[in-house]
Amino acid sequence: MADATDMLPLTDTVAPADQAELAGVVRKAFDSVTPLYPIGGGTAMGFGVVPKRPGLGVSLAGLTRVVDYPYQDMTITVEVGITMAELAAVLARNGQRLPIDVSQASQATLGGLVATNFSGPLRYGHGTVRDYVIGISAVDGRGVTFKGGGRVVKNVAGYDFCKLLTGSLGTLAIISQVTLKVKPLPVATAWLTCELPDFRRAESLLAAMIDSKTTPVAIELVTGAHWQAAERTPMLIVGQGALGVLLVGFEGTQSEVDWQVEQLRREWQAQGASSLGCHADDAARHLGSQLTQFGSSSGPLVLKINVRPSAVTSIMDLLLEIDPNVSIAAHAGNGVVIAGFSEFSVADASKTLIQRLQPAAVAAGGNVVVWSCQAGELTRQAVWGAGRGDAEIMRAVKRQFDPKGLLNPDRFVYGTL
Amino acid sequence: MLAPTFPNLVDQFRRLLGVNGVLSAHGELAVYECDGFTIEKNSPDVVVFPRSAADVQAIVKLANEHGVPFLPRGAGTSLAGGCLPVGGGVMIVLTRMKQILEVNLRDRYAVVQPGVVNVWLTQALKGTGYHYAPDPSSQGACTIGGNAATNSGGPHTLKYGVTVNHVLGLEAVMADGSLVEFGGPAEDNPGLDLTGVMVGGEGTLAIVTKVWVRLTRDPQGVRTMLGIFESCDDATAAISEIISAGIIPAALEMMDQGILEAVEQAFHFGFPLDAQAILLIEVDGLEAGLDAQRDQIVAICRRLGAREVRQAKDAKERLLLWKSRKQAFGAVGRLSPSYCTQDGVVPRTKLPHILRRITEIGAKHGIRTVNVFHAGDGNIHPILLFDERNQDQVRRVLLASGEILDECIACGGSVTGEHGIGVEKIGFMHKLFTSDDLDVMVRLRQAFNPLGNLSPGKMLPMAGACGLEQTQPGRRAAL
C-alpha cells in the first residue's frame, strides 16, 4: 500500500493532539488560505480526483480516545482516529459491534469510514454507516467546531449533520468525533454458495430471493480471474465451466442460521440449482473478509457502479463485454457492483467510462464512480460519474461550509465552486 | 404585511389550480391556522392544493414574484407546529398529490407522492410479503411527505429504524421553484447525502413532491408479550436489561398506571389496574429464533420483579393490545379536560431516573402526569393533565414541561425524539446546541433556502421570528 503522502500534494503534515488543536489548525489555514488534506488510516487516498493544490496534511492519528461507552445503552462516543480493528476490539469486550464491513481494518480509521461511506456485504442486512452515526462533531472550513445529533438513539432536534457529513469525503468539515449506535455480535454466521453457468441463471435466483423465507444479511455475486486464484481465496473458487458464484450470508443464533441455510438450500434445489456449498463460522468470516477486501486488492483501476438491484447482472455482462478479464464482486442485493480491471490505458478508461458504462448505469437509476486508479489521472466526470440535477445544491452547501474551498480541494464531485 | 399585489396572486393561483384548488375566505382558512400543536395559531393568507410537481413549481415562482412566504403541509398531524404559517403567506397543501406511483418488489422500493397516507402504502402492499416499516401512531392520517419532513418514528422503529432509514430518494421543489431529484431507486448515488439531511428538515429546506421508499420484508413470525410490574423502576430496569442482553425487540412500549386506567376504560383489554406499569414487548423475525427470545425476555422480566408476563394468545388479542397503545392519547380525555405531551429522549439506562423526576416535577407543581412511551428507544412521552380554563394550572404545566425537558438534556438526551422542533421547541435549541452549532445550521439552510421565504420562523432560534411566547401549553383532549 502506498504511503498517504505519495498521493497528495503535501507540503507538511500535522497531527493535532486533541479536538481543540485540530480547530486551531483549521483556523490558521483559513486565515492563511492553505488547503488541508485530512488523513485517517491512509487506505483510501486514491479515492477521488487527484488533487493538485499544495497543502497541509492533517493526520487524525492523535484523536483516538474512547470518550464514552455506556454499553448498556448500546452507544459509543469515540474520536475518529481510532482504527476499525481497535474499535471492534473495544466493542467485542461487551459482545457488541458496528456491523459495517471495513477493508484493512487494522489501518483504516472510523473517521475515514464515515468520510468515505465505505461498506461491504453486510449492508444488505444491516445498512450502511449512515444508519449508525447518531452524533457527530466536526470543524468546518472556517475552523468553527460544531456538532449535530447527540448521544441518544432517537433524536430529531436540528438538521441532521450526521447524514450530511457521512460520505462527504472531508470536504465540508473535518470530522473529529462520532457517536455510534451499535448492535450485539451474532452467535453464528454462515454462507450458502451456488456456482452459476451464466448470469441469466444468477438473475433468476436473485429475483427469487425476494420471496425467500430466509432473511439474509448479505447477497453477493462474484466473477472473474480474481476469484479463480485458488491460493488467494481457498474457499471461494469459481470452478471450471462456471461463470460466477452467488453467495448468500446469514447471521443470528445457531438455530436461526442452521434453519436458514437448510431452507435456502431447499429453495435453490427446487429451482434446479446445483453445486451448492456452505461455509460456517471462521470460514464464513474469512469469506466475508475476502469479499470486503476485494476493492482494495483487485487491480489498478477499480470502479463502483450503483444501479437498481435487478440491473446488476446486465451491468456485469456489459463489464465482461468491455474487458473479458475483469473481476467483479457485487453486493447484488443492494445493486452495488465493484469491478477491478487489470489492464487499461487512461484514455480508454475515460472513453469507456463516459461513453459506455455511465449511460448504462444512469439508465438503471445509478452512476459510476472510480474507486481507485493507480495508473494515471482521470477527469472529474470520469471519476464521479454523470452529473445530476442536485449538483448545484451540493456546491451551495460546500460554499457555506468551506467558503474558501480549502478542505480536500478538487477531490470531490463539486467542480468549479 | 402582504404585498399590495396579493389579490392578483390569489387570482393567478385560481387560474393555475382552478377555483377548487384555492382557499382564501377567512372562514375557510381557519382549519389551516395550526396543526396538532394548537397552542399558537396563525392563519395563512391563502391555501393552495397542487396536483403535480409542476403546480408546486408554479405556485412557488408566483409567491416569489410577489414576495410572499410559503410553506408545505401534509395532513397537519405534526405535534410541534411544523405547519404553523408563522407570518402568514401561502400554504401549499399536498394532500391531493396522493398517488402511489410505483411498487417494485424486485428492487424493494415504492415511489409515492407526498400526500399518500402512511397506512395506504402498507395496505397496498398487503399480500406481497413486504411493508413500509415506519409506523407513527398517527399512521391512519399522516402522510408520507409529512413523515419525510419530520423524520417520523413510531413503535416499530426500535428495530427497523426511523423514516430516514427508509427513504432512498426525494424529488423536491426548491425555494426558487426549481425541481430537483435527490437519490433515487439505486443506493449510493455519488456526492453529498442531501436526501439524508432533507428528511427531518421540517419543510424548511425544500417542498417534497415525490418519495422513493425502501420496502421491508414482513417478519415470518411475531410474539407479543405483556409484562406486568409492581413498580415503574422494575419495569424500566427490565427495558435496559432486555436490550443489553442483545435482544432487539421489534417494539418495547411502556404504559404506567395512570394511563392504563384511561386505556382500560376505553378499550376493555383487561389490563390489571393495580399494576404500576406494563411493558408491551414484541419480538419478530424467523420462527426458528422467536421462542428462545420470548423465553429470555420472560426470564428477565420475572427476575426484575414482574408479577406476570402474558403472551398475546392470537392475532386478535395482539391487534387489541396495539390499538390500546396507539390510541392511548385519545383516551386521555377520560382523565382530564386538557393535556400536554412532551417528546424527550434519554439514554435507556436513565429511564428509571427520568420517570422518578417526572413524578417529582409534577408533584412540585401540583400537576398530575401519566406516561405512555417508546421505552426501548428511551423516547418518553409524559402527559401533563390540566384544565386550560385555569390560568394558574396552565402556568404550572409550562413550568413542569420545561423542567422535564431540561432534565432530559441533563441526562445527555434530547428534547425531541420524533415530533420535531417546529415552533414549540425553538426555545430549547440553544440549550442543546452552541451558537456555533446553530450558526452552521443557519448556513445549511441558506444553501437551500437563501432568502428564507420557505417556512420562515421554524426550527432555528435565529430564523427571524424570535421564538413564540408560550402562553398556553396544550391541546384540548378528546372528551
pLDDT tens-place string over residues A122-177: 999 999 999 999 999 999 999 999 999 999 999 999 999 999 999 999 999 999 99
Going by the DSSP 8-state scheme, the letter that residue B284 receives in this structure is E
Reported as a single tens digit per residue, the pLDDT across B124-166 is 999 999 999 999 989 999 999 999 999 998 888 889 999 999 9
Average pLDDT estimate for A357-378: 92
Question: Taking 90 as the threshold, does the pLDDT of residue A238 lie above it?
Answer: no
Coil, strand, or helix at residue B432?
A: helix
- Picking from B184, B443, B448, the nearest residue to A365 by CB comes out as B184
The x, y and z cell numbers of residue A382, run together, are: 470520469
Share of chain B above pLDDT 70, in %: 96
Which residues of chain B neighbour A131 with C-beta distances below 8 Å?
161, 165
C-beta of residue A247 within 8 angstroms of C-beta of residue A221: yes
Backbone angles phi, psi at B408, to 5 degrees: -60, -45
B474: confidence class by pLDDT, cuts 50, 70, 90: very low
Give the per-residue pLDDT at B324: 87
pLDDT in tens, A293-321: 998 876 789 999 999 999 999 999 999 99
Across chain A, what does the average pLDDT equal?
A: 93
Residue B420 pLDDT > 70: yes
Reply yes or no on whether the pLDDT at B38 is more than 90: no
Confidence grade of residue B462 (pLDDT, cut at 50, 70, 90): low
Stretch A46-64: mean pLDDT, rounded?
95
Starting at the edge strand found earlier in the chain, the sheet holding B277-285 runs B306-311, B221-229, B277-285, B251-256, B368-373, B382-386, B338-341, B475-476
How many Å apart are CA B362 and CA B369, to the nearest integer? 6
Q: Given a cut of 50, is residue A10 above it in pLDDT?
A: yes
Going by C-beta distance under 8 Å and a sequence separation of 6 or more, which residues neighbour residue B292? A253, A255
Give me the residue from B193, B379, B418 closest to A164, CB to CB: B193
pLDDT digits (tens, 9 = 90+) for B219-231: 999 999 999 999 9
- Residue A73: which of B129, B248, B347 has the nearest Cβ? B347
How far away is chain B from the Cα of A414, in angstroms, using its nearest Cα?
Answer: 8
pLDDT of B479 > 60? The answer is no
User: Which chain A residues touch B151 with a CB distance below 8 Å?
Assistant: 156, 160
Across B65-77, average pLDDT: 96
What pLDDT is stored for residue B1 in this prediction? Answer: 56
The chain-wide mean pLDDT, for chain B, equals 92
Chain A neighbors of B455, CB-CB under 8 A: none
Residue bearing cell 384544565: B387
Query: What is d(CA B325, CA B235) in angstroms, rounded to the nearest whole number?
Result: 16
Chain B residues 292-321 with a CB less than 8 Å from chain A = 292
In this structure, are residues B413 and B347 in contact, taking their beta carbons and an 8 Å threshold? Answer: yes
Cβ contact A71–B161 (<8 Å): no
ipTM entry: 0.96
State whether the Cα torsion B244-B247-B253-B258 is positive or negative.
negative
A chain contacts of residue B348, beta-carbon cutoff 8 Å: 72-74
What residues of B are in contact with residue A256 (Cβ under 8 Å)?
Answer: 285-286, 288-289
Q: What is the pLDDT of residue A2?
A: 45
A246 pLDDT exceeds 80?
A: yes
Q: Do A151 and B412 touch (CB under 8 A)?
A: yes
pLDDT digits (tens, 9 = 90+) for B431-454: 999 999 999 999 999 999 999 999
Residues B414 and A153 sit within 8 Å (Cβ to Cβ): no
Nearest residue of chain A to residue B424 (CA atoms)? A157
| pLDDT tens digits, one per residue of A71-103 | 999 999 999 999 999 999 999 999 999 999 999
Q: Do A140 and B440 touch (CB under 8 A)?
A: yes
With b for 16 or more beta-carbon neighbours within 10 A and e for fewer, the B75-92 pattern comes to bbbbbbbbbbbbbbbbbb
* CB pair distance less than 8 Å for B192 and A394: yes
Which chain A residues are within 8 Å of B425, Cβ to Cβ? 157
Asked if pLDDT for residue B393 goes beyond 80, the answer is yes
Given CB atoms, is A93 within the 8 Å cutoff of chain B?
Answer: no
* Best mutation target, A74, A119, A124, A155, to test chain B (most B CBs within 10 A): A155
Q: Around Cβ B158, how many Cβ atoms within 10 Å?
A: 25
pLDDT > 50? residue A236? yes
| Secondary structure of residue B294 in the 3-state scheme | helix
Residues B369 and B258 sit within 8 Å (Cβ to Cβ): yes
Q: What pLDDT, on the 0 to 100 scale, is given for residue A3?
A: 57
Please compute the mean of the pLDDT values over residues B56-60 and round it to a whole number. Answer: 98
Q: How much is the pLDDT for A200?
A: 93
Give the Å distances, CA to CA, from B451 to A245, B64, B174, B465. Answer: 54, 10, 12, 14
pLDDT confidence band for A230 (50 / 70 / 90):
low
Burial (CB < 10 A; 0-12, 13-18, 19+), residue B435, is: exposed
The CA angle A135-A138-A141, to the nearest 5 degrees, is 150
Distance CA A376, CA A378 (A): 7
**Rounded mean pLDDT of A99-120?**
97
The mean per-residue pLDDT over the stretch B54-63 comes to: 98
Question: pLDDT above 90 covers what percent of chain A?
Answer: 83
pLDDT at B111 over 70: yes
- Residue B15 above 90 pLDDT? yes
Q: Residue B235 is inside which H or E element, if any?
A: helix B232-244
Q: How would residue B394 be classed by pLDDT, with cut points 50, 70 and 90? A: confident
* Cβ-defined contact of A152 to B417 (cutoff 8 Å): yes
The verdict on pTM exceeding 0.90 is yes
Q: Give the pLDDT confidence score for residue A114 in this predicted structure.
A: 98
Alpha-carbon gap, residue A379 to A49, rounded angstroms: 7
Quote the DSSP letter at residue B271: -
